[in-house]
Structure 1
Amino acid sequence: MDDSAARTNVEWREWGQDAFDEAARAKKPVLLSLSAPWCAHCHQMDATTYTEPRIAANINDGFVPVRVDVDRYPRVRERYNMGGFPSTVFCTPSGDILTGAGYLGVDGFREILDSVRRTWDGKGEEAGRVPRALRDGTPPSGEVRARIEEHMVEQLLGAFDDEFGGWGSDTKFPLPRTVEFALVRDRDQATRTLEAIQTHLLDTYDGGFYRFATGRDWSDPHREKLLDENAALVRAFARAYRYTGEASYRETAETTVEYLTTDLWTGEAFAASQASDDEYYRMSPTDREDADPPSIDETVLADRNGMAAGALLALHAYTDDESARRYAERALDHVLDELVDDGEVTHYRTDEEVGESGLLADQTGLLQGLTTAWQVTGAYGDAATAVADYALAELQDEDGGAFRDGTPEGPGLLDEPLYPLDTNVELADALVDLAALTGEDRYRERAREAIAAFAGAAERMGVEVASYATVASRLQSLRVFRIGAPAGSDLHRAALRVADHEAVVVPAAEGLDGEAEVVDDGEVTGTAETPDGLAELATGS
């Protein structure tokens, strides 16, 4: 149990079947408190609402309270999230949802407690419901067509904030994958958004990016720093540098890598997050020197480390940053040694507990890092195919289609299958890379099946999932640079720099001796023996 929960007056249980069994025996509802170590509002609710003696007594007497760390239990997070954290969820002993909310103060919590008691006393288990995403099962399928990319370009144009940058008219999230989509299709939108992120979300003293801003003008940032979101922004800024040559983009990526490899480095891999602390982050640099920085959750999460390694290797590909490469390889090696068994990835492991294994998020995040590592370093091929093959065998439906987020079993709603769009997209993207790297088209076909599984809803997708259109586009048309020279050679390094970030670079490709070939949609369109010749091929000049 985390320290914040331990300081409350609530008698929290750990997530697990025992808590639901206890609720069934006592005929009481379950109170799920979804929290995160980095979440300031979660700690505030602990310090106020859950510490109030009468509320705590009411919870302890009438409910079975369960505290859930959403970073350690991603499947619970996806099924019970009420739109942010904290999430306050009341459930039946079988796990069905009675009602839920986000942050609740003392008065609001009293009202919802009374409401839940009345509902439970009146209807019992019959009052519970299963969320629509679980109830409806698999997503609407369709054909992977060029129209998907066209639709997303239209969404970019419609949602872009021309005054302040970014997409949307209220809360601003950085949306790094949307930035990457725009880098190829509307570079002005991408660069204006990156400049807003630099100005408003980058901690210029300690380093690292804050999570998002509540104001349309990027004001009032939420100052937690998460590994996965920082990694995605490193990659976006590195790729922006590749397209524009803008030194500030490279510098931003490099300073963020410095933050990741110092503040978030555990000695073996990357820590999960650093907490928000508004008072600390508003201090001057001088005052910060004498203050304790916000706490760091040193849990090594497999998916986030895979993403971080991939981002650092992307930066190395464009800049030859050797420090970034070494840290990326150390993180990958640690995860492979400690958290992977025959392709099955375990979410985390500490001295006290071991996380779930075979989660889609972990197979995907690690595979992304491994396929990037294969392109950049020429290594990690066997690990990449093992991780991918586990996902294909265990997480995709037998007749193809979307991937489940894990084995549908466990307490509460964990026995209901869930097919998350964003993780399916990321896995499909990595599988497209793997198909080019291995020469095995089966990976590309399984990626197509996953993307097609959601294509019936493509016209309803917004810019938040622009990466769906990226993968759909790559399935329609893919450029591959096959390099007949080892990783690190001049020809290979040139390929990494001239290749569009949606292309694939294959080092030490079979059948080539000291030359490179460009393959467009399976057809060789040109060969070169020198970096300059390869650049001419890439640009068509």
Structure 2
Amino acid sequence: MKLAKLLSLCVVLATPVSAASTSLIPWQSWQESQFTQAQQQHKLILLDVEAVWCHWCHVMDNTTYQDADVARAIAQNYIAVKVDHDARPDLAERYRDYGWPATVILDASGRDIVKRAGYIEPAEMLKLLQKVAANPAPEADEPAVTTFANSADLSAATRRALLQRFWDTHDKQLGGLQTTQKYLDRDTEEYALLLASQGQKQARKMVRLNLDAGLNLLDPVWGGVYQYSTHSDWRHPHFEKLGYAQTGYLRLYALAARSLNEPKYLQAALAIRGYMRQFLTAPDGSIYSSQDADLQQGEKAGAYFALNDKQRRALGIPRVDTHVYAKTNGAMIAALTMLYSATGQAQDLTDALTIANNMIAQRQRADGGFGHDSHDVAGPYLADNLAMGQGFIALFEVTGDAQWLHRAWALADYINTHFRAKQAGYVTAVQVGKLPPVTQIDENIAVTRWYNQVYRYGGRAQDKARAEYAMRYLATPQIALSRLTEAGILSADFELANVPAHLTVVGAHSDNTAVALHQFMLRYPLVYRRIDWWDPAMGRMDNPDVMYPDLGKAAAFVCAAGRCSTPAYQVGELQTLARNLLR
């Protein structure tokens, strides 16, 4: 409560994305009527997709869009539209490959004419605007994939190629990927942790190097993770802190702390947790969207972030975007439950439950799905519903409370009804206008793995089929091999093909021995797992694929590799069983 009060004093509230009041350009928000307007006025649409936290977006607003010649060219031939990518996930996913700011010119039919990534200086922008106005012919684009894999199984050749890329793209000197921007690709790290848990020493060495390198992105004063570092090293951070990225790093470092038994990774997770509690947590416990990179928009903040806490606060606090998105909050539920499984600290679980109940009260729609913000002009979006589904299944694992499995089931049905693509995979949004939603790789990796998890916990055949439907999209070679590396597809492939290690407690949720057995299971260093806690007094298990006896007292069982253990009644016995069966 004290932290919430402190936050209310120090946070500068974010304003909606729009040009400054002195802007030379009459920016509009995205509306379908603009296509009709463009047709009637014989104009094109200039779409600027930006983010409230983005340094180069601020720079472009203050330079390029304040240039008189650029403003005249826009007024003559374009309808200027500005969109916050955090507020419109459908447009963000459509143009994600072009970064922020993304500059897109469309015609009145909704066709993309040109797409440009990043900051464009005034003279270059003027040339682009004049060229496209003179000849609005669409630039060549990659042909769309129209034929998808017939099976959810990766072909041997595709699997080999993905695995080779997993190893080849690793920066063996500095850690992370061999890219100019340094950050932790969480799918890569999770797959490396999976291999490490199976005894692969090379993967263990790789993931430790990466995780150690990622610690360079931690703000040493406030905690929290900077967006990425440039210059192909870890020493040139971009200082924005995105709420959704924080949840991913928090979950990853908590998982690594548990699976590798490494205290410094737990300390990293706790530092991220502390930052989010202090700067990105609303008074009701929900999670805000992001914190800006700049104290003064458009001015680089390296000197500011080199200061200590007192010195920073004397100058002010970079503004926080106080939008509360279901996607970020669902991801925070999953992150907090992972932290809880590593530490056993009850407050982490309490906070996760608070967020879940807030989202149910504030973001659940009348049709059962979840909206994005308090008021949405489009949607619903896959990302929000998937993140909440991931949070619900995580809560079921750490509590054994069947309500969370049932909520995950409801979202599994909702996602399949609203976001299922025509041939394979799942699309980013429900279409509400001219622009059709896209099918996105990262989201389909997450959908595949989540549907498989729901199937393993709940036993419903339709959820297995849905996981396979998403995997058919990913197993298509043109998609699987379209980017630098896609370790998440390898994780999805492994999980679909393999039954997770299954640990079960049979006993009342109020029984101290049952609690201790369950806590041991949560902390056990498994990456791919299923943990059930069945209280016989609550009735039949939702997925009784193994018929456990009620022995009249708390007991634990371990099932792996096609065999199940005898009951363990104490943590020491369970530890021995786990060591013998889960090697």
TM over 0.5: yes
Distance 1:89 1:5 in 2: 21
Distance across 2 between alignment mates of 1:494 and 1:264: 31
Q: CA contact under 8 A between 1:82 and 1:100: conserved in structure 2?
A: no
Which among 392, 398, 408 is matched to residue 431 of structure 2?
408
CA contact 1:160–1:166 (8 Å) conserved in 2? yes
How far did 1:210 drift?
A: 0.6
Q: Is the 8 A contact 1:196 1:218 kept in 2?
A: yes
Partner of 1:343: 368
Instruction: Check if 1:444 corresponds to 2:470.
Output: no
Deviations 1:333-388 (A, max 9, x none): 11111111343111111xxx425343211121111111111101223222211111
Judged with a 3 Å threshold, the aligned counterparts in structure 2 of structure 1 residues 527 and 235 are, in CA distance, closer, same or farther, namely farther
Structural mapping, 1:36-185, within 5 Å: 36-81=51-96, 83-102=98-117, 103-120=119-136, 127-128=137-138, 132=142, 135-137=144-146, 139-145=148-154, 147=156, 151-185=161-195
Supply the distance in 2 between the matched residues of 1:499 and 1:249 (Cα, whole angstroms): 14
Corresponding position: 1:375 with 2:422? no
The residue aligned with 2:559 is 519
1:519–1:525 CA contact under 8 A, matched in 2: yes
Provide the residue aligned with 1:426 in structure 2.
Answer: 446
**Offset at residue 286 of structure 1 (A):** 3.9
Cα distance in 2 for residues equivalent to 1:30 and 1:270? 34
Contact 1:146 1:476 in 2 (8 A): no
The answer to whether the Cα contact below 8 Å between 1:395 and 1:407 also exists between their aligned partners in 2 is: yes
- Between Structure 1 and Structure 2, how many residues are aligned? 525
Query: Which deviates more, 439-448 or 279-288?
Result: 279-288
1:463–1:56 CA distance, 2 compared to 1 (3 A): closer
1:81 to 1:114, Cα distance in 2 relative to 1, 3 A: farther
Q: Does the 8 A contact of 1:172 with 1:213 survive in 2?
A: yes
How far 1:68 moved relative to its partner? 0.8
Distance (whole Å) between structure 2 residues aligned to residue 506 and residue 339 of structure 1: 28
What is the CA–CA distance in structure 1 between the aligned matches of 2:71 and 2:579, rounded to whole Å?
Answer: 66
1:81 CA displacement: 4.2
Q: Which residue identity does 2:381 align to in structure 1?
A: L
- CA–CA distance in 1 between the matches of 2:371 and 2:95? 22
Q: Which residue of 1 aligns with 2:580?
A: 540
Cα offsets for 1:289-311 (capped at 9, x unmatched): 31212111111111111111101
Taking a change above 3 Å as real, the CA distance of residues 42 and 138 of structure 1, as seen in their structure-2 partners, is farther
Q: 1:48 to 1:145 in 2, by over 3 A?
A: closer
Distance 1:316 1:84 in 2: 34
Q: What one-letter code is carried by the residue in structure 2 that aligns with 1:444? A: K
Whether the 8 Å contact between 1:375 and 1:505 is mirrored in structure 2 is yes
2:331 to 290, 307, 327: 307
Equivalent residue number for residue 485 of structure 1: 507
Give the letter for the 1:526 counterpart.
S
Are positions 1:246 and 2:279 aligned together? no
Identify which range, 16-25 or 454-463, moves more after superposition: 454-463
Displacement after TM superposition at 1:44 (Å): 0.8
Q: CA deviation at 1:7?
A: 4.2
Extract unaligned runs of 5+ from structure 2.
Answer: 1-15, 196-202, 295-299, 536-540, 542-546
- 1:462 and 1:486 map into 2 onto residues whose CA distance is 48
Describe the SS at the equivalent of 2:315.
coil
Contact 1:30–1:93 under 8 Å retained in 2: yes
TM-score normalised by L of structure 2: 0.85
SS at match of 2:98: coil
Asked whether the equivalents of residues 152 and 463 of structure 1 are also in contact (C-alpha less than 8 Å), the reply is: no
Cα distance 1:113–1:151, how it changes in 2: closer, same or farther (>3 A)? closer
Aligned to 1:190: 207
**Cα shift at 1:259:** 1.1
TM-score, L = length of structure 1: 0.91
1:501 aligns to 2:527 (yes or no):
yes
In 2, Cα distance between equivalents of 1:195 and 1:289: 29
**Whole-angstrom distance in 2 between the partners of 1:397 and 1:100:** 25
Secondary structure of the corresponding residue to residue 36 of structure 2: helix
Given the alignment, which residue of 384, 408, 412 partners 1:384?
A: 408
C-alpha separation in 2, matches of 1:452 and 1:538? 34
Q: Deviations over 1:87-143 (max 9, x none)?
A: 1111101221111223111111111111112113xxxxxx2469547x444654544
Range with greater deviation from structure 2 (70-79 or 460-469): 460-469
Structure 1: unaligned runs, 5 residues or longer: 121-126
C-alpha deviation, 1:60, in angstroms: 2.2
Aligned alpha-carbon RMSD (Å): 2.3
1:150 shift after superposition: 5.4
- Please give the alpha-carbon distance, in whole angstroms, between the structure 2 residues aligned to 1:418 and 1:368: 21
What is the alpha-carbon distance in structure 2 between the residues aligned to residue 267 and residue 464 of structure 1? 40
CA contact (8 A) 1:173 1:211 kept: yes
One-letter code aligned to 1:525:
C
- Residue number in structure 2 paired with 1:282: 306
Give me the identity figure in percent: 24
Over 3 Å counting, the alpha-carbon distance change for 1:355 and 1:428 in structure 2 is farther
SS in structure 1 opposite 2:135?
helix
Give 1:281 deviation, angstroms: 1.7
Aligned-partner residue type, residue 267 of structure 2: E
Separation (CA, whole Å) in 2 of partners of 1:281 and 1:502:
38
CA displacement at 1:257 relative to structure 2:
0.7
- My pick for the range that moved more, 137-146 or 332-341, is 137-146
Equivalent in the alignment of 1:15: 30
* Equivalent position amino acid for 1:115 in 2: K
Once residues 151 and 504 of structure 1 are traced to their aligned partners in structure 2, the CA distance between those partners, rounded to angstroms, is 29
Note closer, same or farther for the CA distance 1:394–1:138 as it changes in structure 2 (3 Å cut). farther
- 1:467-478 aligned at under 5 Å gives the runs 467-478=488-499
* Partner Cα separation in structure 2 for residue 287 and residue 474 of structure 1: 49
Query: Given the superposition, is the C-alpha separation of residues 489 and 138 from structure 1 closer, same or farther in structure 2, using an over 3 Å criterion?
Result: farther
User: Judging changes above 3 Å, is the alpha-carbon distance between structure 1 residues 459 and 64 closer, same or farther for their aligned structure 2 residues?
Assistant: closer
The residue that corresponds to 1:435 in the other structure is: 455
Judged with a 3 Å threshold, the aligned counterparts in structure 2 of structure 1 residues 369 and 108 are, in CA distance, closer, same or farther, namely same
Which segment drifts farther, 450-459 or 84-93?
A: 450-459
